[in-house]
Amino acid sequence: MTDSAGPQTTGADSDGSPFILAQDLSKTYQQGRLQVEALRGVNLAIPAGAFVVILGPSGGGKTTLLNLIGGISRPSGGSLVVGGLALDRVKRATTVRYRREQVGFVFQFFNLLPALSACDNVALTLLARGVGWREACQRSRHVLCELGMGDRLDHRPVELSGGEQQRVAIARAVVGKPRLLLADEPTGNLDAESATQTAELLQRLHHQGSLTCLLATHNEQFCRFATTVYEIRSGVVFLQGDSR
C-alpha cells in the first residue's frame, strides 16, 4: 500500500488484489449529542473494471460509502484501499490528488456551478489538474460533443434540462479519464426517459474504457448493467449476487 495517488497504467492491480478492498469499514457521525453509525463492518472486494450497483433505501448509507471510496470523507474504523492507496491512512493532500486524478463524481442533483457554461463546468476538472484554460475548453468541448451536447456548449445549467445537466455532470466526471466513476443516485432527479438515457450512457462509458463504476441507487433498472450488485441497509452491506 502506497501513499501515492498517481495514475496506474492498467485497470487491474499488478498483484491481483481487488481494485477496491474494504475490510470492516465503519463510519460514525456526530449529530449534536447523538452518534450515528452510518456504516458498520462493511467488507467489499471489487475488481478493476467492474460495474457495481449498490442498492438501498434513502438513509441506508449509500452516499456515505461512496464518499469514503471517493476520498471525500475518512473512515472511522476498518481499512479501505482503492487502487493500492490506503484511504484510511493517507494524508489529506494525497486524497485531494486522488480525487483529482483517479475519481469522477456524478451527483443526484448534478452539482453544476450556475455561473459557468456547460463547457466551463466540464473544464473545471482539467483546470484543477493545472491544464490551461484553452486546452481544458477544447477537451471539454470534445467530450460534450461525444455525449451529444455539442449544441449546448455555452448554455448555463439553468438553460439545460435535467437530463442535459446530468450529461454535463457525467462529462465533467469522465473528461479527466479517471479510473473510478462514482455515481450517487444519478437518475434520482430525472424523468423515466432521461433516467434510461443516463443509465445507458454510463454503461457505454464503462464499456469504452477500463473504468470501474460504482452506482449508488434505489433504481433497480441499473441492475441489468451491473457485474455485481450489493444491497445496503442500515449501514450494512450484503452481496446480492452476480447478475451475470
Contact set with another protein (CB under 8 A): 63, 67, 70, 72-73, 92-93, 96-97, 99-101, 103, 105, 107, 109, 111, 113-116, 120, 124-125, 127-130, 132-133, 156, 172-173
* C-alpha torsion sign, points 95, 100, 103, 107: positive
The nearer residue to another protein, 16 or 115, going by C-beta atoms, is 115
Q: Which residue has the cell 454510463?
A: 202
The 10 Å CB-count burial string (b at 16+, else e) for 102-138 is bbbbbbbebebeeeebbbbbbbbbbbeeebeeeebbe
Q: Grid coordinates representing 70?
A: 471517493
CB atoms under 10 Å from CB of 91, counted, come to 9
Q: Grid coordinates representing 106?
A: 456524478
* C-alpha torsion sign, points 151, 157, 162, 166: positive
Q: Which residue spans within the chain are E strands per DSSP? A: 20-31, 34-46, 51-55, 77-82, 85-86, 103-106, 180-184, 212-217, 228-233, 236-241
d(CA 17, CA 26): 21
The nearer residue to another protein, 57 or 132, going by C-beta atoms, is 132
Q: Least distance (Å) from another protein to the CB of residue 242?
A: 30
The nearer residue to another protein, 1 or 116, going by C-beta atoms, is 116
The nearer residue to another protein, 47 or 70, going by C-beta atoms, is 70
The nearer residue to another protein, 36 or 239, going by C-beta atoms, is 36
The nearer residue to another protein, 88 or 228, going by C-beta atoms, is 88
Q: Up-side HSE of residue 70: CA atoms within 13 Å toward CB?
A: 23
Q: Least distance (Å) from another protein to the CB of residue 11?
A: 20
Q: Least distance (Å) from another protein to the CB of residue 125?
A: 5
Q: Least distance (Å) from another protein to the CB of residue 111?
A: 4
C-alpha angle 202/207/212, rounded to 5°? Answer: 70
The nearer residue to another protein, 101 or 146, going by C-beta atoms, is 101
Q: Least distance (Å) from another protein to the CB of residue 206?
A: 20
Q: Least distance (Å) from another protein to the CB of residue 25?
A: 16
Per DSSP, 220 falls in state G
Q: Least distance (Å) from another protein to the CB of residue 96?
A: 5
